[in-house]
Amino acid sequence: MTLHVDMDAFYASVEERDRPELVGKPVIVGGTPEGRGVVAAANYVAREFGVHSAMPAATAKRLCPHAVFLRVRMEHYAAVSEQIRTIFEHYTPLVEPLSLDEAFLDVTGCLALHGSEVAVGRSIKQEIRDRLALVASVGVAPNKFLAKIASDLEKPDAFVIVDAEKVQAFLDPLPIGRLWGVGRVTGKTFQQLGVRTIGQLRQMPVTLLHQHFGSNGDHLWELAHGVDQRPVIPEHEAKSISHEKTFPRDLDDPDVLHAWLFELSEQVACRLRRLDLKGRTIQLKVRFDDFHTVTRAQTLSEPTNVTQKIWRTVVTMLTQRMPSRRLSIRLLGVGVSGLGQQKQTQLSLFADRQDERQSRLDEVADSIKEKFGSTSLQRGLGLLHRIDPKSGAKDPNQDQYDE
């Protein structure tokens, strides 16, 4: 059995925990509404006003003018994420992080010690609440796909179990949009076919799915039948580290897309530095509104774990190496592969001086936070609202770190 553990409104919940005076108020974490900022996270109070992640901060301000806007503290959230990971690893070594706030866990091998899958899931949920004062939603199911759907069904504070003998009873009533890969365009096609639930899709012949969705028809058919063969892959066995984000609504604003690429790049870079790793190959994943997915990769002359280097590379790939088509994007992903320990890599005699400066800043920041605490130094994510709309480049006069 597989668990999917997803922290509820993670960034905003950490801020509320650290600043109790925010509890009960609408809290939005991300860029400033005065610039080109985007919403990275919103608590459930703010969501009642229609605010959601990936929304321009200016729009969020109009919807919820009395909201408290806070800058992203990525290093702090990464430190809290490590505490959550420690709890996971008390129960099983088979932990596959998807991002700072969610992970898959294979608990099959730990049942003799900790009890049933359900008992393990409830224990993890309670331990996160008791030790970290945070709330997690948990899905317990036979595979990754089902567990992820389960954890999301009754948020916040969800605990949903999918019985292996009742998979179809669980899936059939759900709307077609719950399937991975069914976005706005694919959803319209299903609507034209009169298919609105997963159960109705399950009754469709595979040949008809092929006719309308090509090779993706097999994927949709398998998911509708609850089939997902992917194993949980622990981070230390992974050949790459990546993060991706599926947006509630398709994005077409270049500034917003660049801002999200920065957020994803920073999450990846934080994990690389915490694992003492660097990578040579930078990867970009883009899924358009019609589910057409494009991946691009660029191999650097030197391995890196520098946020700015990763971000500049993926922005270049997005702006220069995508198909000639309208940018209506449902998912973005950033990854780094070709991993090696930092001590196994050597700096080039001709290394980019700006990259060296950024690397030194990262190292100094990490050392200060290790000595004085994760909140003693914060990365200034002014980039989220100070992007050059023509080049995607950051204002060269903006500091990288704020005290």
- Name which of 188, 198, 283 is nearest 244 in CA terms: 283
Dihedral of the CA atoms 186, 187, 193, 198 (nearest 10)? 110
Q: Which of 15, 75, 102, 117 is catalytic?
A: 102
Name residue, tokens 């694919």.
186
Beta strands in 223-328 (DSSP E): 240-251, 277-288, 293-304
Measured distance CA(336)–CA(204) in Å, rounded: 39
- Cα angle 140-144-148, degrees, rounded to a multiple of 5: 65
Query: CA angle 275-372-369, nearest 5°?
Result: 30
Q: Which residue has the tokens 């608590």?
A: 43
263 is a catalytic site residue? no
Cα separation, 62 vs 49, in Å, equals 10
Residue 128 corresponds to which tokens in the numbers above? Answer: 């996160």
Sheet of 27-30, strand order:
39-42, 27-30, 68-70
Point out the residues that are catalytic.
102
